[in-house]
Amino acid sequence: MNLPIVFGIAADPVKLGLVASLNRPDGNATGVTTLNVELGPKRIELLHEVLPEATIMAVLVNPTNPSADTLLGDLQTAARTLGLQFHILHASAEREFDKAFESLLQLHAGALVITPDIFFLAHSEQLAALTVRHRVPAIFQYRQFAAAGGLMSYGTDEAEYYRLLGIYAARVLKGERPGDLPVQQVTKVELIINLNRAKALGINVPLPLLARADEVIE
């Protein structure tokens, strides 16, 4: 007997072979997916809105991430559309963080986009501390980053994500077959702005952007 599985991922479960289709998983697994690659261009747009004078930006990517090429392709397209120069920094181990941030000064990068990655997520507070130390305006995926001192975060609403996971887990525990439950995607996103960090960096966040934020940390 196959053990029922309720997963939560930020990738396409069909491409990963977890389910036959999103609407009819059919096997012993179903779950919830989050927006991931799709939000990359918006993060660049948000940084550009806050820092229109910054014509050079950098992106931190984990080269071992299977989605790295797709993430970078979408970000590069967005950067070209906005007329920005774009530099790629790599880190796949904690010891590589310092080198990556030191490169920002050499590249004259005015802002940093940190790409979604489970490794980076596990080090959100450390990455936020590095942006503070190097005085780098940066944006990442989850609230933990902004709460720890990063300038902004823009990504899936975590409360909604875990709510949907909990509902599916409860339904499976009550006897429903995972294969009969369509895979759900969380489409609700949240923008968090750390206004304290913006002030420390001498950045005047546009009032319309502050009004759009789901949370402003002061």
- pLDDT, tens digit (0-9, with 9 covering 90-100), for 63-95: 998 888 888 888 999 999 999 998 999 999 999
- Is 36:116 a contact under the CB 8 Å cutoff? yes
Q: Among positive and negative, which fits the CA dihedral 211, 52, 116, 39?
A: positive
Over residues 49-55, mean pLDDT? 95
Give percent of the chain with pLDDT exceeding 90: 80
pLDDT greater than 70 at residue 1: no
Structure confidence at residue 105 (pLDDT): 86
Q: What is the 3-state secondary structure (H, E, C) of the chain?
A: CCCCEEEEECCCCCCCCCCCCCCCCCCCEEEEEECCHHHHHHHHHHHHHHCCCCCEEEEEECCCCCCHHHHHHHHHHHHHHCCCEEEEEECCCHHHHHHHHHHHHHHCCCEEEECCCHHHHHCHHHHHHHHHHCCCCEEECCHHHHHCCCCEEEEECHHHHHHHHHHHHHHHHCCCCHHHCCCEEECCEEEEEEHHHHHHCCCCCCHHHHHHCCEEEC
Give percent of the chain with pLDDT exceeding 70: 100
Q: Which numeric CATH code is attached to 38-155+213-217?
A: 3.40.50.2300
Q: φ and ψ at 25, to 5 degrees?
A: -55, -40
Over residues 142-158, mean pLDDT? 95
Structure confidence at residue 96 (pLDDT): 96
For residue 182, give the DSSP letter. P
Burial of residue 22, with CB atoms counted within 10 A of its CB: 0-12 exposed, 13-18 middle, 19 or more buried: middle
Structure confidence at residue 36 (pLDDT): 77
Structure confidence at residue 101 (pLDDT): 95
Domain boundaries, given as residue ranges, for the chain: 38-155+213-217
Residue whose structure tokens are 């304290």: 196
Q: Over the stretch 170-184, which tens digit does the pLDDT of each residue have?
A: 999 999 999 999 999
